Structure 1
Amino acid sequence: MHPWRSAQEVLLCDLCETVPLQSRCEVCNINLCVNCVGKHLSDSSKQHHVMPYLQRKSTPNYPRCPKHVEKHCELHCENCDIPVCIKCVSSGKHEGHKLSEFLEKLSAKTKNLPKDLEELETRIYPRYEEMASNIQTEKADIETNYGKLTTAAEQEGEILHREITAIVNQRKSVIQKMKNKHLSTLNKNTKEITQKMAELKQIISDLKSILKSNDVSLTSTYKSRNSEFRTLPSKVRVTFPSFTPQKINKDQLNEMFGSLSPLSINTEHGDTMKSAEAVSSRPVKPLLDEPRLTATIDTGYRELYSVSCLSEDQVWTSGDNETMKLLNLQSKLLTSIQTKSGKPPQDIAVTRDGDLVYTDTSNNTVNLIKNKKIRTVITLQGWRPRYVCCTAANDLLVTMVSDDGKQSKVVRYSGSTEKQSIQFDDQGRPLYSYNVFINNYKYLSENMNLDICVADWSASAVVVVNQSGKLRFRYTGHPSNTEQSFDPYGITTDSQSHILTADHYNNRIHILDQDGQFLRYIHCDLDRPSGLCVDIRDNLFVAEYHTAKVKKIQYL
C-alpha cells in the first residue's frame, strides 16, 4: 500500500509521510502538510504553486518540458517518441513530424499496462524463477559431482599404487633370486678351493715328514703333484646386476593416470521468448477425424529403422545396412551415402542447414555429412550414441547408453562441444531406463516449446523434460488401455506442439498435446511403425520396420 494510504484512506504528506496532507503544489505534483509547506517553498529553484488540496486542479498534470521549464508538454511527437510543448513545436525541430495529444498517447499506453503486467507475472517472471531454481539445483550438485571426480582420482591413484607396489615386489623377488644364485655359485667355488687347500696342507705335511726321517723308502715312493696344483681352480667371476631406472615421462604418466576433461563454461545468449500475441497468432490446425495416407515410399531395405525429412517430397532413410538413402515420393533413389565404418547407422537426422547427421555405435561416433563428405564431429569414450535430433537452435541432442549398459542420458552438443547433460531428476533418480540385456531404443525430438521428448521403449514411457532438463511428465499410454502394452519407438513433434510417438507392436501412432494429454490414435494400416518425422507442412512420415516402406500421412 502507498505510504500515504491507510485502511481508512487517510492521506498523508508526501514529504514527512506522518501528518495528514492539507495542500498540494501543482508545479511539483506533491502533497504537503502544514509543517512541510514552508520547507517546500524555501526551494527557490522553481516557481511553486501551492493551494489547498481540496481546491487542486482537476485538469491533467502534464509533464514539464525539459527544454522550456515554464511550459507543459501537451503533445507527443510520434517520430521522436518524446513529449513536447508548444514552444518545441514552434521552434521548427519537429516540422513535418506526426504529433498527437499527450493524453491520447498516455491513454494508449495505459491500456497496454495490464497486458504487460499479465505477461510479466504469468510468462516472463516464472521463466526467470525457473532459471534461478535450475542454477540453485546445479549449485547443489557441485559438491556431489566434484566429490565423485575426487573419489575417482583417488581410486585411480590407489590402483596405480597397487600396480606399482606389485611391480616393486616382483623386482625385489627377482633380485633375491639373483642374490641366492650368486651366493650359491660362490659357495660352490669356495668349497672346491677349500678341498684343494686341504689336499695341499696334507702334501706339505707329508713332504716335511719325509725330509725329517731320511727314510729312503718314503723318498723313493714320493710322486710330485706340484704340476697338478699349479693349475689353479676355476675362478668364478660374477657381475653384479644393476638397476637402471626409467626416466619418468610426466606426460605419459598423466595419460596413464587418466584424463580429466576441461571445465567448459559457455555463456549462451538468452532465448527470446515470443510475446503472447505472437504465440496466440500461430495458425491453429485441428486434427482430422480420419487421417489420410497420401503416399507410400518403397525404400528397398529388408528392415527400416529411421526416416528424416529433407523437404515435403524428399526423405532420408536408414535401415539394416551401411547405406543411407535419399528418396522422393515416387521411391526414386536421389542420393546414397555409406557410413565410414561400413556398419549400419543407429539413427539419422537432418540439420536446419539440410545436412545429414548419423550415429554409429560400432565406433561410438556422431558424424555430419556435408556435400557428400563425412566428418566425425563427436567421439565418445565409455558411452554409445543411440538416437539423434537437431534442435531449433541447430544444436544436436543425442541419447546414449554407457558401455556397461547401466546408465542412460541425453546430451546436447553445439558442434563438438558438450553443452548440457540430462540424466537425473531433482531427487537424483535416473530419468531414463537402462537394461543390459535388451536394446535401448530411445528416439527423441525437441518440441516447439523447447521440451525434450524421449520415447523410452524399455520403460514403456515417453519422458518429457523442459529445456533445462527438469522432468515435466511421463506418458505411459492411454489410461483406459490396460490390456495392451505401450511400446514407444519413434517420436516427433509438429507446429502445434503435438507429440507423436509410434506404438510399435500395437501398429498405431499416439498423438499427445504438449502437456502429455492423449488426443487421438493414427492407424492407417501401419505395420510395426518405427522412426517418425514431420515436414514443414505437418505431414507425418512413418518408417515401417518389416515392410521397409515409408508412409506419408495427413492428420491435420
Structure 2
Amino acid sequence: MDPRAQDVLLCDLCETDPLQYCCEHCDINLCTDCVSKHLSDSSKKHKIASYHLHKKFTPKYLKCLKHVEKDCEMYCESCHIPVCSTCISSGKHKGHDISDILEKLGSKKQRIQKDLEELEKKIYPRYTDISSAVQTEKAEVETNYGKLATTADQQGEVWHREVTAIVNKRKADIVEIKTKHLSLLDKHADEITHRMTEINQVILEMKNILDTNDISLTSTYKSRNNEFNKLPPTIKVTLPSLSTPAINTETLNEMFGSLTSLYVTTVKPLLDEPRVTATIDTGYKYLTNVSCLSEDQVWTRGENTMKLLNLQSKLLTSIQTKSGDTPTDIAVTRDGDLVYTDYHDNTINLIKNKQIQTVITLQGWRPLYVCCTAANGLLVTMISDDDKQYKVVRYSGSTEKQSIQFDDQGSPLYSSGGYIKYLSENKNLDICVADYGARAVVVVNQSGKLRFRYTGHPSNTKQSFNPYGITTDSQSHILTADCDNHRIHILDQDGQFLRYIHCHLRRPRGLCVDIRDNLFVAEFNTAKVKKIQYL
C-alpha cells in the first residue's frame, strides 16, 4: 500500500488527485477537475461545498485548560480564545461575543487559503522576478568588467613595457572592485533567497494547517503576508569607468587613467499603500508651510509666528517675525537654522540661536517662497513690485548668483498670476517650481534651461490641477500638493507621473521630506501636519 494514501485523501471519481470539494447531496468527494464532471449529471440535485467545511468534517477539538474534561466547542471573540460550555456558563464571558468554533475555524482557514493564494500567485513570483534580475545583472557585470579589462589591455599595448606594471595594477583594481560588486549582488541575492525560503516554509506550514484538523494550529495562525509584501529595496550599482587620456611619458601613472570607485545607491520602491505614521496638531487656525529640522521635529508657519513642534504636538520653540507681519515661507538650512521670507518688508531672514538676522533686502522685488540648496545656498521665488513678473533667484549667502526668468525664446518661464510659487531643488540640481497660476510644475535645469512642464495626470480631464507645496526626495522624485483635489502627485525626475498619495488628506499645502524620505504634509484647513511613509 502506498504510504501516502494515509496522508492524502483522493477524489472518489478519478482516484488520483487530492480531494478539495464534496457534494453534500450525493455524498461523494471530488477533486477540482472532477467537480464539473459531477455537475454534468443534471438528473440529480447537487450541492458542492469545500471538503474542509463539509458536515462530515470531524474536528479535533482543543481540550479546555480550565475544565480538562470539556472540549472547546466555542470561541470568545472578545477574549480571542477557544472556550468550553462550562466556561460560558460560569459567567466569566458574560456579555462577550461567542461564536461556534467550527465557524471560526472555517473563516480562519478561508483567510489562510486567501493568504496562501496571494503568496503563491502574487508575492513569491515577484521575488522570483527580483532574483532573476539580480542574476541577469551579475551576468552583465562579467561582460562590463571584461570590457574594462580590455580597455586597460589596449592602453597597455600602446605604452609597451614602460606601462606594464601600471596595467597590472589597474587590472587588479578592476578585479577588486568587481569582487566587491559581485559580493554586494551575492549578498543581495542571498537575502532574497533567504526571504524566498522563508516564504516557502510559511507556504508549507499553511498547507499543513489547511490539511490538518488540529484547531490549536489553526487558531494560533498569524498571517505574515504584510511582512512579505514589503519587497526588499533594489540595489543600484553604478559601474566604474576607466579613462584613457593621451600618453605623457613623464607622468605615466597619472596619465594612464584612474578607475572610479564603486558607487552603490539603494533604490527604494514606492509603497502600494502609503500610510500616515504621525499627526501633529499645530494649534494654528490655518497652516501653510512645514520644514523638517529632523525626523521628529518640524518648523511650521501659520499666522505671524513660526513654531517648532515634535511628533507629539509639543511646542518646542515659537518665534515671531522681525516685522511682526506673517512670513511667506520657511526653510531649514543644512546647518539646522531657519530661514523665512517676509513679503511685507522685502526681506529674507535667518534665525540662528533664536536671533533674527536680515541677510537680504530686495529693491523692486518682493520675496515669496524659499528653499535651501545642496550647496547650502538659497533659491527664492519673487514677484516684481508691479505684480506682473516672477523669477527665481539663487543666492550664496547674501550675494545673488543667478536669476531665472525667461526661456530660450525670451518668454516668461513662470505665469504672471497666482502668487503661489513654492519651489524645491532636486537631487540632480533641477529647480522645480509649483506654479499655481499656470496650473503646472515648471522644471528647469541647474543653468535655468526649461526641461519640462507637468500639468497633471493626462487621464484626468475633469479635475483641474492645483499645485501648491513641492518637495523632492533622495530618489529624485518630485512630490507636489494638489490642494483642491486633496492629494499628492509623485513624479520621476523627468516629469513622468508615478502615483497619487491620498491618505485622507484635507487641502494639503506645504511639503517637506526628512533624511529618511518621510513626507510631512501641512493641511491648510485642519492646521495639522501629517507624517507619511510612501517609500
Scaled to the shorter chain, the TM-score interval is 0.5 to 0.7
Rounded Cα–Cα distance in structure 2 between residues aligned with 1:460 and 1:427: 21
Q: Closer, same or farther in 2 for the Cα pair 1:551/1:116, shift >3 Å?
A: same
2:508 aligned to 529, 541, 544, which one? Answer: 529
Separation in structure 1 between the aligned mates of residue 526 and residue 503 of structure 2, nearest angstrom: 14
Equivalent residue for 2:297, pick from 311, 314, 317: 314
Deviations 1:522-549 (A, max 9, x none): 0000000000000000000000001000
Question: Normalising by structure 2, what TM-score?
Answer: 0.54
Please state if 1:349 is matched with 2:368: no
Deviation at 1:105, TM superposition (A): 3.7
User: Aligned match of 1:385 in 367, 380, 389?
Assistant: 367
Residue equivalent to 1:429: 411
- Alpha-carbon distance between aligned partners in 2 of 1:526 and 1:431, rounded to the nearest angstrom: 30
Question: How far does residue 116 in structure 1 lie from its aligned partner after superposition?
Answer: 3.6
Q: 2:470 aligns with which of 479, 491, 505?
A: 491
2:281 — aligned with what? Answer: 298
Contact kept in structure 1, 2:240 and 2:261, CA below 8 Å: no
Where does residue 306 of structure 2 map in the other structure? 324
How far is 1:276 from its partner?
9.0
Task: Provide, for residues 318-341 of structure 1, a one-character-per-residue CA deviation record: whole Å limited to 9, x for no partner.
Answer: 01x211000000000000111011
5 Å-filtered alignment, 1:9-408, equals: 76=165, 104-105=168-169, 116=241, 277-278=262-263, 281-319=264-302, 321-408=303-390
Q: Rate the CA distance shift 1:110–1:540 in 2: closer, same or farther, 3 A.
A: closer
* 2:498 corresponds to: 519
Q: CA deviation at 1:481?
A: 0.3
Letter in 1 for 2:404: I
Letter of the 2:385 partner, please give it: D
Supply the AA of the counterpart residue of 1:295: A
Instruction: Summarize deviations over 1:162-182 as a string: whole Å, max 9, x none.
Output: xxxxxxxxxxxxxxxxxxxxx
1:465 aligns with 2:444: yes
Cα displacement (A) at 1:382: 1.0
Contact 2:274 / 2:534 at 8 angstroms: preserved in 1? yes
Rounded Cα–Cα distance in structure 1 between residues aligned with 2:475 and 2:497: 14
Which residue number in structure 2 is paired with residue 420 of structure 1?
402
Whether contact under 8 Å (1:308, 1:349) holds in the other structure is yes
CA deviation profile, 1:292-339 (whole Å, cap 9, x unmatched):
1000000011010100000000000001x2110000000000001110
Is contact 2:242-2:260 (8 Å) kept?
Answer: no
One-letter amino acid matched to 2:354: K
Question: Which residue identity does 1:305 align to in structure 2?
Answer: T
Q: Is 1:119–1:276's contact at 8 Å kept on the other side of the alignment? A: no
In structure 1, give the amino acid aligned to 2:292. Answer: C
- 8 Å Cα contact 1:386-1:442 kept in structure 2: yes
SS of 2:266 mapped into structure 1: coil
Residues 474, 377 of structure 1: alpha-carbon distance in 2 compared, 3 angstrom cutoff: same
Give identity over the alignment, percent.
75
Aligned-partner residue type, residue 401 of structure 1: I
Deviations 1:406-446 (A, max 9, x none): 100000001110000000000000000112xxx41000000
In the superposition, relative to structure 1, how do residues 63 and 424 fare at CA in structure 2: closer, same or farther (>3 Å)? closer
TM-score by length of 1: 0.52
Which whole-Å deviations, capped at 9, do the CAs of 1:373-418 have from their partners, x for residues lacking one?
A: 1000111111110000000000100000111111000000011100
Residue type of the alignment partner of 1:491: I
Task: Decide whether aligned partners of structure 1 residues 298 and 275 sit closer, same or farther in structure 2, where only a CA change above 3 A counts.
Answer: farther
| Change in 2 beyond 3 A, CA 1:110/1:543 | closer
Distance 1:553 1:480 in 2: 26
Corresponding residue for 2:73?
none
Say if 1:61 and 1:507 are closer, same or farther in 2 by CA, change over 3 A: closer
Letter of the structure 2 residue corresponding to residue 498 of structure 1: H
8 Å contact kept, 2:240–2:260? no
User: What code does the residue aligned with 1:515 have?
Assistant: D
Contact 2:240 / 2:262 at 8 angstroms: preserved in 1?
no
> For residues 61 and 505 of structure 1, what CA distance do their matches in structure 2 show?
66
Q: Name the CA distance, whole Å, in 2 between partners of 1:276 and 1:508.
A: 41
Query: Residue 429 of structure 1: SS of its match in structure 2?
Result: coil
Displaced runs of 4+ in structure 1, greater than 4 A? 60-64, 72-75, 106-112, 117-120, 274-277
Structure 1 pair 110–529 and aligned structure 2 pair: CA distance change class (3 A):
closer
Amino acid of the residue matched to residue 386 of structure 1? Answer: L
Residue 482 of structure 1: aligned partner? 461
Distance 1:73 1:463, change over 3 A: closer
Letter in 1 for 2:317: T
Alignment equivalent of 1:500, drawn from 470, 473, 479 = 479
In the alignment, the residues of structure 2 paired with residue 347 and residue 446 of structure 1 have an alpha-carbon distance, to the nearest angstrom, of: 15
Give the match for residue 549 of structure 1. 528
Q: Which amino acid aligns with 2:482?
A: D
Conservation of the 8 A alpha-carbon contact between 2:442 and 2:453: yes
SS of 1:526's partner is: coil
Partner amino acid, structure 2, of 1:318? R
Report the AA paired with residue 336 of structure 1. S
* Secondary structure of 2:381's aligned partner: strand
| Contact 1:62–1:73 (8 Å) recurs in 2 | no
Of 435, 459, 482 in structure 2, the residue corresponding to residue 456 of structure 1 is: 435
Q: Is the contact made by 1:445 and 1:492 (CA closer than 8 Å) also made in structure 2?
A: yes
Name the structure 2 match of 1:509: 488
Q: Could you tell me how far apart the structure 2 residues matched to 1:551 and 1:314 are?
A: 12
Cα offset, 1:277, TM superposition: 4.7
**How far apart, in 2, do the equivalents of 1:366 and 1:306 lie?**
16
Superimposed CA distance per residue, residues 150-173 of structure 1 (whole angstroms, 9 cap, x where no aligned partner): xxxxxxxxxxxxxxxxxxxxxxxx
CA distance in structure 1 between the partners assigned to 2:290 and 2:328 by the alignment: 12
What is the distance in 2 between the residues matched to 1:419 and 1:517?
A: 30
Runs (5+) with no aligned partner, structure 1 = 1-59, 65-71, 77-82, 84-101, 121-273
Change (3 A) 1:375 1:287: same
Deviation at 1:275, TM superposition (A): 6.5
Gaps in structure 2 of 5+ consecutive residues: 1-155, 178-238, 246-258
Question: In 2, Cα distance between the equivalents of 1:536 and 1:377?
Answer: 27
